[in-house]
Structure formats: C-alpha cells, structure tokens
Amino acid sequence: MISLNDFLIVSAVLFCIGLYMIVSKRNAIQILIGIELMLNAAILNLVAFGKYDRFFNGGQMFALFAIVLAAATTAVALAIILNVYRQYKTIDPGRIDKLGDE
C-alpha cells in the first residue's frame, strides 16, 4: 500500500527539481517547465492530502482548478516568451537586462 509519506517525498523531489531548473537553466522554456514541475508538486500534495476530506473532496476539486489555472498561466507565459524573443532575439533570461523601448 502506498502511504502518504511516499506521495510527499515524490512531491518534494518534484519541487526541488523544478526549483533547480528555475535557478540554473538558461532557457525560458525550460524555466517554464521548472515552474510547471513545482506547480505539479503542489497539486500532487493537494491530491495526496485530499484523502482526509472524503466528504467534499476539496483537495481533488482544488487540484482541478489549479491545473486549469496552470494551463492558463502557461499560455500567458509562452506568449510573453514569444514576445520577448521578438524583442531581444534571445530567451536567455540572463541576457534580457533592458526594459522598455530602445
């Protein structure tokens, strides 16, 4: 039987991988993937803790909302990255150091 601890460990591993990606990657898409990983770690936690609310299934419901919101934010983020690429001809966040018009 899979215990709650196993879920939490997987979630923590996922969160750490995501965090590492955000800090170390030189590509905005990969960073975005990192963010998604962290988000999914959180959703996993929600679902795992959802077993304590059998009556309302609040954890499951909140996870569904979170997945939809994550999809929306990813779409917005991708749009931003596309625009950033048009502006700077790069998507390395380390090299994007100028705001505003030329």
Q: Kindly tell me which of 97 and 101 has the beta carbon lying closer to other proteins.
A: 97
Considering only residues 25 through 44, tell me which ones interact with other proteins, judged by CB under 8 A: 31
Q: Kindly tell me which of 35 and 46 has the beta carbon lying closer to other proteins.
A: 35
Q: How far is the CB of 81 from other proteins (least distance, A)?
A: 13
Region binding other proteins by CB under 8 A among candidate stretches 20-28, 39-47, 54-62, 76-84: 20-28
DSSP structure class, residue 56: T
Whole-number Cα distances in Å, 9 to 2, 5, 65, 71 = 12, 6, 23, 24
Pick one of 1, 2, 5, 23: the residue that binds other proteins (CB under 8 A).
23
First to last CA, the chain: 60
Q: Is 19 in the site for other proteins (CB under 8 A)?
A: yes
Across 17-50, b (16+ Cβ under 10 Å) vs e yields: ebeebbeebeebeebbbbbbbbbbbbbbbbbbbb
What is the contact surface with other proteins in residues (CB under 8 A)?
19, 22-24, 31, 93-94, 96-97
